[in-house]
Chains A and B, each alone.
Chain A
Amino acid sequence: MDSICIVGASLAGIRAAQTLRSDGFSGQIVLVGDELEKPYDRPPLSKEALFDPAYNEGEPLYLVKGQDYDALELEERLGWRATSLNVEERIVEIGEVGETITKTEQIQTDAILLATGARAINIFRENLAGVYTLRSFEDCVVIRHELLALAEQVESKQAKSKRVAIVGAGFIGCEVAAVARWLGLEVSLIEMASQPLSRVLGEEIGACVADIHREKGVDVHLNTMVEGLIGEEPNRVEGLYLVPFVAGEGNGATPKTAEKEELPADLVIVGVGATPNIEWLEGSGLALDEENKGVLCDEYCLAAENIACAGDMASWMNLRYKKQMRVEHWDNAIEQSKFAVRNLLAGGTSSKSKGIQEPFAPIPWFWSDQYEHKIQLSGIPSIDSKTVEFEILDGSIEEKKFAAVFKQNGKVTGIFGLNTPRLVMTNRHLIESDFPFPP
C-alpha cells in the first residue's frame, strides 16, 4: 500500500493519519473533509466552548496542533466533499463546497478510509430563526452568540427572563441545558421518553439525571412530544407546541395524549440525535446496514477490499458481543480508526505491517459533563434485552455520587459512574470477564 485517501477530516480521520505515520507509513495520505477547519474536537462544543470566556471564540480546539500537524504531511482537501465512490477502482470523486459544486476532482489511491461521521437530525420543517442543531464549530459559534446575547439582556434588565427550549434530553441536550442555566437563562428540557437517557441508563438512573436538572431549576417535561414550532416564517421562533402523553393509558403505538400546550421560548435547540453521513455512498455497491444505519463492515472494520470505515458512520461486527453495532462515542472513533488503518496496512503490501488483521472488539466508553457533575459509562447496559438492572457499587444515588454495575442475565454489561470517574475505568474488568475477547 503506497497511498490512502481518508474521507472525513475529523476525529476518526485525523487519528487514522496519526496511526499511519507512527506505524511508519511514508506513502501519500489525502485527507478530504467538507468543513474548512482542520480537524477539531467536538465534545467541547456542547460544554465549555458554548460559554466559557477562556475558550478562544475564534478557533476550535484542534485535535493535532502546529508542527505535529505539519509533520503528518497530509495532502489536504479541506472544503471538499466526497460525492461518490468507485469501489473496484478505489476512486473517490470530490467537489469543492460552494453554493453549488462546480469544481470536481478524482482521487485514486491504493486504500480508502471512510470516516464521514454523522450529522444532527432536525425534526422541524418550519423556517424560523432561532432554531438550531449542534454538531459543528460553526453551529457552536452561532448558538454561543445567541445564548450570550440572551444572557446579556437578562443581566442588563432589558428583559426579565429569557427561555431556551431544548428538544430531546439526550447527552447533548442535557449538556446545553446545563450551559444555559449557568448563564442565568430559563431552560425547558423536553423529552419523549419517561426519563432522560432512559433508553441507555434505565428508568432509575434516568430519573436521577432528571433530578439533577430540576435541582438546577430546569423545567423538565417528560413523556412529551413536540408537535411544532410557534412563530411566523421567516421571523423568529416564539415557542413550541407540546403534546404530553398520558402515563399508563393507550399503548406504545398509539399512546393517549393530553391537550396541546404552548411553551414560549426565545431560542430552540434540537438535540434529538444524529444520523450517519452515508448518502453519498448510495449506488457505490457498498452494503449499508439497515438496522444500525451506517456502512456495513466486518469485524476488521473492512467494507470491501482495501476499503475500511471508522467512527460514527461505521457499523461493524463487534465479536466481543457477537453483534453488529454502530457507536457514536468519541473514544470509539479513535480506537476504531487505529484498527481500521492497521487492517488496511495488513491487507495491503506494506512491508511495515505485520500482515495480520486484528478484529476490533472494544468495550465502549463514554463521558458527559453536566453542571459540576461528571457522568461516565463503560459497556452497553442493555445489550441483551430492553430492561436494565443495576446494583450500586459505591456511594448512593441520593448524594449524587455513585458507581453502579449493570447486569443482564447474570452478566455484567456496564459500569456507570456519577461523579466517580475513576471507578468506571477501574471496574471495567468486570465487563471484560463476563464478555471476554477473545472468548
Chain B
Amino acid sequence: MKVVVDYDLCESNAVCMQVAPEIFEVRDDDFLYVLNETPDESLREKLVESVQRCPKQAISIEED
C-alpha cells in the first residue's frame, strides 16, 4: 500500500502525526513530510485511522 497526500488540502495540523508518527511528521517549517510512503501491512490500522481522522480528507491509500 502507498500513502498519498493531497498537499493542497493539508493544513499541517498534525492529526495524522499523532495517530501514526511512524508515517507522518509535521516539521518546524510547518510542512507535512511522509516518512514512509510504502508502510508495512502492520501499520495499516494506523494509516486507515489517519485517513479517517484527517479533517481535510487529504490522505488516501493506494493499494498495490
A contact set with B: CB distance below 8 Å: 15, 18, 22, 41, 43, 61, 330-331, 334-335, 365, 367, 369, 374, 376, 421-422, 424-426, 428
Contact = CB atoms under 8 A, between A and B. Distances in A.
A18 B15 CA distance: 19
7 contacts: A331-B53, A331-B55, A334-B53, A367-B13, A369-B11, A421-B13, A425-B17
Most buried by A among B13, B26, B45: B13
B37 interface: no
B43 interface: no
Given A426-B14, A428-B18, 8 more contacts: A15-B52, A18-B52, A22-B45, A334-B52, A374-B13, A376-B13, A422-B12, A422-B30
Nearest to B28: A422
B1 interface: no
Interface of B: 11-15, 17-18, 26, 30, 45, 48, 52-53, 55, 57
A369 B17 CA distance: 20
A422 B57 CA distance: 17
Contacts of B15: 331, 365, 425
A204 B48 CA distance: 39
Contacts of B52: 15, 18, 334
Nearest to B26: A422
Contacts of B18: 425, 428
A5 to B, nearest CB: 22
Contact of A367 (B17, B30, B48, B55): B55
Given A15-B52, A422-B26, A61 B11 contact: no
Contact of A43 (B13, B17, B55): B55
User: Chain A at the B interface: mostly helix, strand, loop or mixed?
Assistant: helix
A-B pairs, top 10 by smallest CB distance, nearest first, are A425-B14, A421-B13, A422-B26, A422-B14, A421-B12, A422-B12, A425-B18, A422-B30, A334-B53, A421-B11
A425 B13 contact: yes
B57 A61 contact: yes
A41 B26 CA distance: 24
A330 B17 contact: no
Contacts of A425: 13-15, 17-18, 26
Contacts of B17: 425-426
B45 A424 contact: no
Contacts of A334: 52-53
A61 B30 CA distance: 26
B13 A41 contact: no
Contacts of A422: 12-14, 26, 30
A425 B11 CA distance: 12
Nearest to B10: A421
Contacts of B13: 367, 374, 376, 421-422, 424-425
A374 B52 CA distance: 20
Contacts of B12: 421-422
Nearest to B27: A422
B30 to A, nearest CB: 6
Contacts of B11: 369, 374, 421
Nearest to B14: A425
A87 B11 CA distance: 43
Residue among B26, B48, B52 with max Cβ neighbours from chain A (10 Å): B52
B14 A41 contact: no
A39 to B, nearest CB: 12
A240 B14 CA distance: 42
